Structure 1
Amino acid sequence: METLQYDNTHITVKALTIFKNVISHLEKREASPIALALAERLLPLFNNVSSEVRERSMLLFKDLMESVVWWRKGAMKTTVRRALIPLFFRMSDETESVAKVSAVVLLACAKFLKWKQLEQLTQTQRAETCITGEYLLKQKSSRVDGYLQQSLPYLEDAQANLRQKAIKFIGLAVYHAGIQSEEKLNELIQALQPLEEDAHERICHLAAGTIEILRHHRQQPASQRTWLAALCCWP
C-alpha cells in the first residue's frame, strides 16, 4: 500500500496488479479488511496523470466493493460515496477506455449504495448530463459541500472538457445548496477567475458568466438561480 504514494507509474501499475491478483484469490472474509483499508487509497489514483493508472485503479475499486462481506458494507459506503464525484467527472475523460470504465464503476457504486435513480441514469448513458449532477447534489444537503470541494481541483485539470464540467457542476452546487455565505462565494469566484483566461474560448465565457452570477447571487437569489440553472445545463 505504501508504494501507491510514489510518483512512479511503473511501480503503481505493478502494485495495482498485485492487489488485483491477491483479492481474486481470497475469500470475502479474508479480503474484506484489505478492501476497506485499500479503497480509500485508490481514490487519488482516479486522477493520476497516467490513463493506465486511472483505469486500473477504478477497476480495482470495483473489485474491492464486491469483496466486502455484507456486514461490513456500511463501513465501505463512506468511501464509495467519495468515489462518485471523481467517477462522474472521469466519464468525460478524453481517454475513451477510462471514460467507459468510469461509467461501469459508477454503475457498480450505484448498485452498492442501492441508489436506483443513479443506476438508471448510468445505464441509459445519461450520466454525462447535468441531470446526474443534480441527482447527486439532491441526495443529501450535508454532502453538497464535500462534493463541491471535490470538484474544485478539476478546474485545473489538463483536460478542457473536465475544466468545463467542473464549472458547470460548481454552478449547480451553488444553485441547489442555496449558498449565501459571502466567504464561500468569494472562494469559488477566486477559483474560477483563472479560467477567464483559459485557452479555450468556451471555457472563458462559461467561467465569466458563472462568476458574474455568483457575484449577484446574494442580492438577487430568485432571478439569479434561474439563470444559474440554465447556464449550468449548457451543452
Structure 2
Amino acid sequence: MREDDARMPRPLVPGEPCPGPELVAVTRRLATAPAALRDPGVHPGAALADLAVVLDGRVAETTELRSLDQRLGAGGGERAVLALLTGWVGLDPAVAHHPGVREVAARCGGVSRLVVAAALAVADELGGLRDPAAWTDDDVAREELARATLAVLGVLPAGESPQVAGDAWRVVSTRHRRAVAAELAAEGQRAAELAKALEEQRAKEAAAQYANY
C-alpha cells in the first residue's frame, strides 16, 4: 500500500495545525447543505467568487475566475460539488469566525482566500471517489469530507490531537480503505496460489511414490 493512500490531506498554509471547530458542527453543516449545490445550472466559479465577497468583501480578479472555471468545470460534477460543499462549510460562522481558522487565514491573506483555496484543494483530494450525492447523504462520506476540509484549512477537530485525527482519517478515507481492501485481496490471492502449489506438489509426490511400488 502506498504511503499517500493513508496520509491526511495536506494543509494549505505551512505550520502546526491549530485547534478548530467541532467535527459534529461541520458534519451537521454538510447534512443541511442545499440541494442546489448539486444543480448542474450552478456556476461553481461564480458561486465561490460570491462567497469571497460575503466572507470578507474580497472581489475575485479575472485571472482567479478563469482559474476557478478551468479547475472546476461545469456545475453538477463531483469536483464542482465538492468545491461548493467546502465553500458551504467555510461560510458557516462556526468555521469562518473560529479563532483557529482566523489564525491560519491571517497567514494567507484573509479568510476568503483560505476558503476558496480549500475548496479547490478538497476537490483535488476527493474528486473521483464518490457519487456527488454521497458527500451529503452518507454518514461516513460526510465525515470524510468534513475531516478533509478541516485538514486543508489547517485546523484539527476540537479535542483531537494530530495522532487521533490521523487515525480517524484512515478509518473514513475512501482511498485508504480501497487500498487496504486491495492489499487484503492480493494477500488472499497469494495464499490461494500457494495452497494450490502445495497441493500440486503433494499430488506429484504421491504419484511418484505410487509409481515406485
TM-score range, shorter chain: under 0.3
Structure having the higher Rg: 2
TM-score (norm 1): 0.24
Using the size of structure 2 for normalisation, the TM-score is 0.25
Q: Where is the helix percentage greater, Structure 1 or Structure 2?
A: 1
Larger relative contact order, structure 1 or 2 (CA cutoff 8 Å, min sep 6): 2
